[in-house]
Structure 1
């Protein structure tokens, strides 16, 4: 990964470390824009390292993972991971994700988003972390359905209101949060954090 990333002019790979604790220590001691973390690491895993890196530094963590680490996805997102990518991606995809996270976006691959949706729909009722005072009950209901992966058409059928009305509610939610699109609404609903 270090060799590949160093072939891109826009990146400087500052260091490679052995575990989550070393990653945290390095990010605290240096100005690091983006940290790529594996989920499975000795001493401190990538999910725990993500939480501490977000709390103690300005570094934006991206989790690189394999399919069988899916139980960690929600925890990593809750802990502040700005990206969650599978290791089998083309190098260009990983490069683009790093640039996007650097520019303030959150990157979740579709397969990762699907895992979040299925874990949400599997839960009886996910307790949302959104601010109850900021949103109407109807808006919270729509956010919950967006987080479960419903389209506007499906939400419309579920709530018996027109797609145009749903679109208006979504515009209102985006306006109140300053978010840009429905994927960010889903992440916000789950984590309570606004990532621009």
Structure 2
């Protein structure tokens, strides 16, 4: 068992009894090909929660500072995280994400860039559209329907894959594609919001 599978099993075993995940739509998740997995962002636990419930291994960008911490710098690469410099255009991170997508991998992204303070979906940054267009990948929208409260059910919803080819063919802008992605996430949030 590799480190990713081991970590996924351990983290799932810890978080599942606390947050009682209800996973919806995992059966529709494409079994192959590059996928940009885009989710809303409401808590620091979002990356592991999205990752452990996804049917395929997910690569996440993580802020570069985490790779300087003694314990994490040896673990993060093993769980498919790669560093990104925040607050600037990090060409290495951009190239890495695009290569992963072109190689048929899954890259996880939170288009809002930072956690929502009030749980409401914010505006997405155009980076999501950039990766979707340049990475030759389709997009799977994801909605985390919270809040994170111990022993309350937390929904993780994977939507239908969005075919990016028509947007590439008509040379749509990264901003437009990001808006399309965010609209799909908003739709999932509305559809599955906790009653």
Which TM-score applies when normalising by structure 2? 0.30
Q: Which has the larger radius of gyration?
A: 1
Q: Which has the higher helix share?
A: 1
Which TM-score applies when normalising by structure 1? 0.30
Q: Which has the higher strand share?
A: 2
